[in-house]
Structure 1
Amino acid sequence: MRKYVMLALGPVLALAACGENAGWNPNYSAMHNGSDYAEYYQQREAALHGTGAVPQVIPVQLPAEAPELGQPQRKVVPATVAVIPTNARPVTAGGAYPGSTPVLVRYAHQERQNPGTTTYRRTGGSVAAAARSCSGYSSADHAQRAFIAAGGPILDPRGMDPDGDGYVCGWDPRPLR
């Protein structure tokens, strides 16, 4: 029985004898190479054990992203941001655009085409079916919000946008722009 216990525990004890952070994993070997991250790691461990100060900066090493000598730097292009006038009021149900919601305002700024301009390909669906669908909503704003929530304008599962302009039930985005 003792022989079987030693056979089972032998590999575990052998691995334990190797020591922490010693092995083939390059992430572990970096802890002992004098890099900025190795210094941070040692400071962090000391702080966790209560024998040192908490490090204030975590260095990030991304060797795959590091430029090489003579290689041009990648230019970071900021994302396009909608410019909101400084005199604009917050958008609420009774705010700058009465009756509208932030979802509709954002959608109006996102979709730049005017009503009637076919932008999305539609198959099937008719104006009569769209009119029947629209009659179930109390307003064009409610219908447009439901259209967006159902996957519009890419999807039109209810057939509310037969002309493919991205706007349903007579909703017009131009006043919100």
Structure 2
Amino acid sequence: MRSWVVISVLALAGCGEHLGYNPNYQFGSNAYGEYRVAREAALVSGDEPPATIPIALPAEAPTPAQIAGQDPVPVPATMGVRRKAAVAAPAAAAAPAAIAAPVTTSGPYPGSTPVLVRYAFAAQHAPGTKIYARNGASAATATRVCAGFATPSAAQTAFLAAGGPETDSRGMDPDGDGFVCGWDPAPFRQSQL
């Protein structure tokens, strides 16, 4: 008996027309809907269908100047996602002026900079210098998580891909320096490309 009630409710739910939230799929509500009404009427009556199909561009499409890189592209809203603020480095430990990261000339992506090299050049502080606030992280958790990676470079790449160094959802960076599992940025800061 209960299964018949469920089947009946599902059958009734399937009978309704799904209008959706996209107005492009509704007849007559916009220019494209009016075109569809005219086209259907022409197909049924045998008349000539409309020659021009109207299109609607996105409201926030990039301009040609933004595509060419002349104007800055606006940063989209993060939909409520907030990043944790970094702990400011002491003034005495101010890093020297940043050096431009090298660019590869060969390999699968010529003209690009590998992720770890880019991060090593961006993070000019020494390993062990607390830069980011970490709450509840422990060395035991970091050791356990790091054991799952073949190399420190693989662990650092995974850490960066998961939102690091700002966030540390897996507890890989208990000291808050932005370097995990013993990864050393010094070899990556040398121009070896």
TM-score normalized by structure 1?
A: 0.46
Give 1 or 2 for the bigger CA radius of gyration. 1
When normalised by structure 2's length, the TM-score is: 0.42
